Structure formats: C-alpha cells, structure tokens
Amino acid sequence: MKAILSILLFLISLNSFSQYPFEKYPAISDRVFNDWKVSDTTKNKNRFDYILAIPEFFNNHDSLIFRVTSSDEDMLNSSAISLFRNKNQVVNYIEKFPLGLSGLDGGNKPDTAFVADYNGDHLNDLKIYFLNLGCGAFNFYAQVIYFFQRPDGGFTKISFTDLYMDFNYRKERDLNGDGNYEIITQSFQNYGKHNYWLFNIYNLKNNELVNVNKLYQYPIMSQILYRDNFKITKNLSREKMKTFSRKLPDDYSCLSF
C-alpha cells in the first residue's frame, strides 16, 4: 500500500509541474476585479448596465469606472461601452458584440477584469473578458478587450475573440525581459486527422497589436487529447506550424480615443 501511495504522489507531483513552454517566462503581476454592479432599468426599454469601479487606476490615484450597456433592441448586435475617470467620461463607443438580457439569455456577459502595465510604459492598462453563453464549443470562447492607457490621457482599445480555458496559465508573459509583455492567444486548429491547440504571440507596438511569432519560434501546437497535454506536438514540424501563424487574432478590432 505504501508503495502504491508513493507512486501516486510521484505522478501527481509530475503533473503539477507540467506546463506549456511559455509558462517558464515571468508572468504579469495584475490586480483582479469582478465585483460587477448590474442594474435592470426596465423603465428604459429593458436596458441593462454592468458597472465596475477600479480604485487608484491612474497614477494620480484617480478611479476608473467601466460601464457596458445593452438592451432588448440591440442585444443581438452590439453593446455600448464607456470609461470614466472619476465622473468624467473619457471613452464612449459601440462594441460589435451582444451582452444579452442580464447576461442570462444569450450573448456575452462581463467576467473578470485585470489591471496591470501590459506594455511597460508605467501606466496601468485594463483587460476584461466577456464570456460567451452559447452552446457546445462556443462555450470555450470569450471576447477579450484591452484598454491601453496612453501618456496623452487617452486609451487604445484592442479586442479579439480568444479561447477562455484558464486565464491563470495563459497570463501575459515577458519572453525577452523588455517589460512589454507578450500576449498569447489560443485557438482550435485542425490538421490531418487531429485537433490541436494553436498558440500565437503578439505585442502592442505603436498602438497596434503586432504578431511576433518569428522572434520566438512560434506558433506552437499541442495535440488535444483525452488527458492533459502540454507538449509541442511531434506530428508536425516547426516549419509546418509556421504556416498556421495568424497575423492578427480572430475578430480583431483596434480603436483610439
């Protein structure tokens, strides 16, 4: 019995150290927020407001208020997003994805928000996931929105569709130590008779997302199995994997305010 327990503990310890290749690099240190306030203003065409307050977001300790709004009329098309510095609105635009009724009847709903300096300019940035409430494989997807704060007081918004499996392991990583953390995306990829996880790498440069796969010998692919699998597949050569490189993530959008 002791021998069996020892073997089990050994196997568990091996699994606990399993990781994707990018996980060996330093991960971003962020603040996590998910205390969303939801208001159902039914007197105003069933409009739903999701509001998140982030204290001391700005360098002078001003707060950031994030608000996303959807209603019965536009739930299948878009949602209005606003950012406030204290009580002053600094961002206001329409994002081309739905929230749905209280996030319960389809569409997406806001989930976890993160605050960190993602691009190394000593200004806080904001990242928010909006989870897909579809069915089947769509449950794996999320809308990801970054708001990169600029020195001029404005923001650059970067959004795209990404897989939402476990945001902890796929945090932004600093692969070259320059303080501009690489953004790692994950998507499904079929090739031959197998399905894979496909990982691409991006940086924010000149207020645009730029693919930097070539700098780090990416993309990489890991075969999807009925067990945890963190290894780069040997079914394809690294040269073949490069043919699946994606210049930009799915549904990519960039706006400056």
Within 19-154, strands assigned E span 31-33, 37-41, 47-54, 64-70, 79-85, 88-95, 108-116, 125-132, 141-149
Between 52 and 78, where is the model more confident? 52
183-200: average pLDDT: 95
Closest to 249 in 3D by CA, of 212, 221, 209: 209
Residue where the block lists tokens 């040269």: 239
Q: What is the pLDDT of residue 187?
A: 92
Q: Given its phi and psi angles, is residue 102 left (phi above 0), alpha (psi -120 to 50 degrees) or beta?
A: left
- Rounded CA gap, 42 and 73, in Å? 12
Q: Is the pLDDT of residue 33 over 50?
A: yes
Q: Is the pLDDT of residue 189 over 80?
A: yes
pLDDT band at 41 (very low <50, low <70, confident <90, very high): low
Q: What is the pLDDT of residue 12?
A: 39
Q: Is the pLDDT of residue 150 over 60?
A: yes
Find how far residue 60's CA is from the centre of its chain. Answer: 27
Closest to 218 in 3D by CA, of 21, 24, 18, 19: 21
Q: What is the pLDDT of residue 240?
A: 97
Q: Which two tokens stand for residue 250?
A: 């799915």
Q: Is the pLDDT of residue 193 over 80?
A: yes
pLDDT over 90 percentage in the chain: 63
Average pLDDT score, the chain: 84
Mind spelling out the 3-state secondary structure of 82-101? EEEECCEEEEEEEECCCCCH
pLDDT, tens digit, 9 for 90 and up, residues 103-121: 444 446 678 899 999 999 9
- Rounded CA gap, 87 and 72, in Å? 27
Among 130-144, 146-160, 215-229, the least confident range:
130-144
pTM of the shown model: 0.86
Q: Is the pLDDT of residue 45 over 60?
A: no
Residue where the block lists tokens 């806080």: 124
Residue where the block lists tokens 């207020």: 207
Q: Is the pLDDT of residue 2 over 60?
A: no
Q: Give how far Cα 56 sits from Cα of 60, 63, 124, 172, Å.
A: 8, 5, 10, 22
189-207: average pLDDT: 95
Torsion of CA 232, 245, 197, 27, to 10 degrees: 80
